[in-house]
Chains A and B, each alone.
Chain A
């Protein structure tokens, strides 16, 4: 038996380990539960939920790029009501903290969604998506506006006492300004980064490969950018950070923690190897044990820059 303490703290939220599954890469948990024991995970974050169901963008929604992929799904989701009625009963069966990701087109919609969901005891925290690059209203318009991020955080704070995590966009000059606005308006943590805006063309047809023209870039290609953004927030703002961006193996998790993350989210990797998150947890424990790290949380922001 290893005596490594894998628990981490995200503001008031205690997780059994730092491995969370990222929004939009686990649906509502049912498909991935066939490959990974949800009860072993730190937390899972739902697909973005909006007040009403959203159909999402027409195909083609996905294309592969070097060491990454572009997606423009367009926040397809069942809406909060169907979520509570049809998806929560399945998720209730598991002993894993459930974090609801919320996407909206207006500040009022963020507030309304959170209000409807906050009394559901299975939900342990909210992740507010102010950074989806693939919808015409809301999304990046908010994510690019530091005052809007502050206002959304402030308003959502008034309707829930559960932890609030603001998911930040990397498509800005100084991400730490946004983390600061989130903190000052009552957020408990930030997650960074959402996808980077990108595109790709078919050289024969001269058309974009993605119908939406641009999509969000994810996968190992964005890991260095994500690490730099996490480090920037860590150096400038005192707030727990959930690191996201191209994690493919346990070493990447350690790297994100050193750069300032208290926990991480695994995203694109779930599409390639949905059994990977469980394996990574075991490997992290082995590594810490061998390296003499008794508390994994001691790695957070342990960078040595000089």
Chain B
């Protein structure tokens, strides 16, 4: 966990208002793991005041990539910062995906911008395990495939791939999963994670999910990001410090 100033090297705009920012940050790239996140201060101004959490989308050499869409003032500033100007990065933060374990096939389940951590994940896992990727979105506009492989798509309106949500698409493929030794890795909106948790419990599949919550500090002092624990109902877990990746059975979604 450190604070560094890192220069922006490239702005890439993917389809549909999804931005990719390439940042030179060897202090981070050498230690960060898929699923960990960074808390970024986009400017020295007091508005916006707080840092913004971003999962690391990819790491290539000394550069890291951040994926985002413009949600408000912070992301707007980030999308328009000049090349070579610095962003202030606090990280790496939290616990990433547990890539080890007794599985042969990693099944990625991503909803919308929940795709963000998986290019890095795919890069880290592809030589060791088989990867199957399931991506969901409301329409084809929301489907982000950047940096992923073996992709199947579900859209609510049927504008691309399977018509329905991504968990319904998983249900269609349950025989395939049962024929393999699988572990699920997910990131996406809460309704998706909820349905996925039920699906995985019903079929006895192991599943890790990356969660999100509004937070200030990103490292445990503000206590701003609680998530209900299944183990101890008397005490919340913190998304920033105990997560953001949890084994699905440990959290109430």
Contacts and interface: CB of A to CB of B under 8 A. Distances in A.
Whether A and B are associated in the same complex: the answer reads yes
Given A34-B1, A272-B50, 19 more contacts: A35-B3, A47-B223, A56-B226, A59-B226, A61-B226, A62-B216, A62-B222, A64-B48, A64-B50, A67-B46, A68-B49, A69-B49, A71-B224, A73-B223, A219-B46, A270-B221, A271-B216, A271-B222, A272-B217
A306 interface: no
A163 interface: no
Interface in B37-65: 41, 46-51
Contacts of B219: 31, 274
Contact of B235 (A53, A57, A268): A53
Contacts of B235: 53, 55
Contacts of B224: 61-62, 71, 73
A76 interface: yes
A63 interface: yes
A92 to B, nearest CB: 20
Interface of A: 24-27, 31-32, 34-35, 47, 53, 55-64, 66-69, 71, 73, 76, 219-220, 248, 268, 270-275
B221 A32 contact: yes
A219 B49 contact: yes
B234 A53 contact: yes
A59 B221 contact: no
Q: What DSSP secondary structure best describes chain A's contact surface?
A: loop
A35 B88 CA distance: 14
A274 B220 CA distance: 12
B1 A76 contact: no
Given A56-B236, A69-B49, A271-B50, A61 B214 contact: yes
B213 interface: yes
Contacts of B41: 272-273
Interface in B69-112: 90
Interface of B: 1, 3, 41, 46-51, 90, 213-217, 219-228, 234-236
Contact of A61 (B47, B90, B225, B228): B225
Residue with the highest number of chain A CB atoms closer than 10 Å, among B49, B50, B220: B49
Contacts of A68: 49
B1 A25 contact: no
Nearest to B3: A275
A156 B219 CA distance: 34
B227 A59 contact: yes
Contacts of B215: 62
Nearest to A77: B223
Nearest to A61: B224
A15 B226 CA distance: 35
23 contacts: A25-B222, A31-B219, A34-B1, A55-B234, A55-B235, A57-B226, A58-B228, A59-B213, A61-B225, A61-B226, A62-B216, A62-B224, A63-B214, A71-B216, A71-B222, A73-B224, A220-B49, A268-B216, A270-B217, A272-B41, A273-B41, A274-B3, A274-B221
A27 B226 contact: no
B232 to A, nearest CB: 10
A61 to B, nearest CB: 5
A60 B225 CA distance: 7
Contacts of B216: 62, 69, 71, 268, 271-272
